[in-house]
Amino acid sequence: MGIVSLVTGWPGASGFGSSSTAEQVTDSIDASNLTVIITGGASGIGLETTRVLAMRGAHVIIAARNTKAANEAKHVILDTNKNAKIDVYELDLSSLKSVKAFADSFKDLNLPLNILINNAGVMFCPYQLSQDGIEMQFATNHLGHFHLTNLLFDKMKETAATTGIEGRIVNLSSVAHLYTYEQGIRFDKINDKDSYSDKKAYGQSKLANILHANELSRRLKKEGANISVNSVHPGLIMTDLMRHSYLLMRILKLFTCILWKNVPQGAATSCYVALHPKLKGVSGKYFLDCNEYPTSNFATDPELANKLWDFSHNLVKSISLV
């Protein structure tokens, strides 16, 4: 896959490409025996992912900060699909307390958990700290998802063991992982305001999404757990995620219009990695346009991945003790 495939939409080895839609890549797949949690599933590509997974029969749990908007999105889907199974629960990824509360609420439902899609995020926001005192993009895009995944993967392992169905975890990353700070992850300057760059901080958080997926994949393989973990780049899509740099993105789109996708195309890779039977047993990979794609040297560094895991674990622990 390269720039020609991206521009033309020609399919890659998977049979799909940049012009494929979420409905197309999941055509004829029966997900009626699957339970899915998706963060940020009420808008943009998250909403389209929710709609298509529900169309394929999955029971979808939308984890959203704005439950009013999420419930409105749920009813929009139900208007066209009366049989859709969708529930909404509150989750603010910038608060580890909220992450724990959501995980506890889900466990109390005694439902299985087959698929976790870590989709929500913030992008290019001005410098600010989360409720837990962590730089907002790192806190929301990485740390909240790291904690959520850790709280839920025992449930996922249990589900995979009792059903025999492979569990799947999908981290939404971005090609922006290529544009990060010089060190890749600034462990000693996560909260440094003076040297903060909204673009590089976003790239850092997206790099962290890939490293998290790779390290979790390695650990689960070592355990022999029947769960795959992969990361994806959805493509360039104009959504509310870009609200902090809307004018810049409109100008960029004007000059790079052939590289942009619509929302159904943007949700395709997430749905493909979450559901397609071709990917059974495939783990620790990065996907773009529904095909495996190379990443940066930072993203494939196992020492950096392990260091990020330990750093994130200790950060969560220190916050939880406060």
**Are 136 and 129 in contact, with CB atoms under 8 Å apart?**
yes
**Are 283 and 221 in contact, with CB atoms under 8 Å apart?**
yes
Which tokens go with 237? Answer: 């899509």
With a CB cutoff of 8 Å and minimum separation 6, the contacts of 226 are 157, 160, 161, 164, 165, 166, 167
**Beta bridge partner(s), residue 181:** 184
Dihedrals phi, psi of 179, to nearest 5 degrees: -110, 85
Q: What is the number of other CB atoms lying within 10 angstroms of the CB of residue 69?
A: 15
Q: Give the C-alpha distances (Å, rounded to integers) separating 97 from 71, 100, 131, 145.
A: 22, 5, 9, 13
Contacts of residues 121-127 at CB distance under 8 Å and 24 or more positions apart, as own/partner, are: 121/40, 121/172, 121/205, 121/241, 122/241, 122/244, 123/202, 123/241, 123/242, 123/244, 123/245, 124/198, 124/199, 124/202, 124/242, 124/244, 124/245, 125/198, 125/244, 126/198, 126/244, 127/193, 127/196, 127/198
Residue the block writes with tokens 């999955």: 58
> Which one is catalytic: 127, 179, 196, 293?
196
| Amino acid symbol at 149 | T
**Beta bridge partner(s), residue 233:** 288
Residue the block writes with tokens 């979790």: 216
Active site residue 286: no
Residue 228, SS3? strand
281: left (phi over 0), alpha (psi -120 to 50) or beta: left
**Annotated catalytic sites, by residue?**
196
